[in-house]
């Protein structure tokens, strides 16, 4: 036996369909006479679950009103996650009909659905002659643009967050080796072009293996975090502190002379020696010291030669008593 709603539609198709159209956002607040005229232009279309209604590779001349069921919208491919679900009362196809282009996304029936298609010519006629339709369409398009704007902002924030995770060391929250490898060549090129020096400070924690063995890896991690905070607070806003690997750090100092780089390195060395190291439980741990090698670029420098020069000076600091700066 057919349901009452279906029998009603069969026995009084215009009346029932007119009521359904009146419940849609696009045709709300229209006189019954206009709704009856719209209803007389077409009959509802039945869609099976999974049936594709609109695709980016086919022209579209209709705005489809959802009478029952639900449609999903997918960018790129049919297999991509749905970006929006359209419930009864909603509509699809407005943008392609209004600007005369193909749909920008796939529209698929999520479940068995009924839609009512209104041809482009009738839509344009109603927009021109019926203020309610023009206002409804404007509200729909405005909401669609707002939703897309929110989605773009959210996606950009997520991309930025992922990028930060890729380029930032998880423990110290300093830039990591990946970031350094990508950025150093560009910074050096800018320095040479501007006839300015790029300072490199290569920093190593003294006796770190012994510190780890004595206070455990958590204690060692806390020492590295404390040192990273020292580096963040002793560099200028346009300098870059990075975790080079293990207990080694590398700081880039754009537009810097050798005396300026030495002074910065000495401040870091002094601050590291006096900083507090606190365990995860809040107890005080022994402090650490660092050794620092300093190098500043010239017109012939490469990223590799500049790091090698700083590493050679670090070697002198490590074998000359540690807790010192060499240049």
| Residues acting as catalytic residues | 247
Pick from 311, 307, 312: which is nearest to 185 by CA? 307
**Kindly report the CA angle at 10 between 4 and 14, in degrees rounded to 5?**
110
CA torsion angle 14 20 24 27 (round to 10): 20
What pairing do the DSSP bridges indicate for beta strands 325-326 and 290-296?
parallel
DSSP string, 196-214: ---EEEEEEETTHHHHHHH
Tokens 């002198």 belong to 316
Close Cβ partners of 139 (under 8 Å, ≥ 6 residues apart): 25
Pick from 93, 86, 97: which is nearest to 125 by CA? 97
């Amino acid at each position: 036996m057919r349901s009452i709603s279906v029998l009603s539609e069969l026995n009084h198709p215009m009346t029932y369909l007119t009521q359904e159209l009146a419940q849609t956002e696009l045709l709300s607040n229209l006189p019954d006479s206009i709704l009856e005229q719209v209803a007389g232009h077409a009959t509802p279309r039945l869609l099976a679950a999974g049936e594709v209604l609109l695709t980016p590779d086919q022209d579209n001349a209709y705005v489809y009103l959802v009478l029952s069921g639900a449609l999903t919208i997918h960018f790129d491919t049919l297999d991509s996650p749905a970006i929006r679900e359209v419930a009864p009362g909603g509509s699809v196809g407005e943008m392609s009909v209004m600007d005369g282009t193909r749909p920008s996304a796939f529209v698929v029936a999520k479940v068995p659905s009924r839609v009512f298609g209104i041809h482009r010519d009738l839509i344009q006629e109603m927009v021109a002659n019926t203020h309610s339709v023009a206002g409804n369409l404007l509200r729909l398009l405005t909401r669609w643009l707002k939703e897309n704007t929110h989605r773009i902002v959210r996606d950009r924030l997520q991309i930025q967050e992922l990028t930060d995770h890729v380029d930032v060391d998880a423990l110290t929250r300093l830039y990591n080796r990946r970031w350094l490898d990508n950025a150093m060549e560009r910074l050096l090129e800018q320095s040479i072009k501007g006839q300015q020096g790029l300072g490199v400070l290569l920093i190593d924690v003294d006796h770190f293996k012994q510190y780890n063995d004595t206070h455990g890896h958590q204690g060692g991690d806390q020492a590295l975090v404390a040192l990273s905070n020292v580096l963040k607070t002793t560099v200028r806003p346009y300098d870059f502190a990075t975790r080079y690997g293990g207990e080694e750090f590398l700081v880039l100092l754009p537009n810097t002379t050798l005396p300026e780089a030495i002074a910065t390195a000495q401040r870091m060395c002094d601050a590291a020696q006096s900083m507090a190291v606190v365990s995860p439980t809040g107890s005080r741990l022994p402090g650490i010291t660092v050794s620092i090698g300093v190098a500043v670029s010239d017109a012939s420098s490469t990223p590799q030669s500049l790091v090698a020069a700083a590493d050679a000076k670090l070697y002198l600091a490590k074998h000359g008593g540690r807790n010192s700066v060499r240049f």
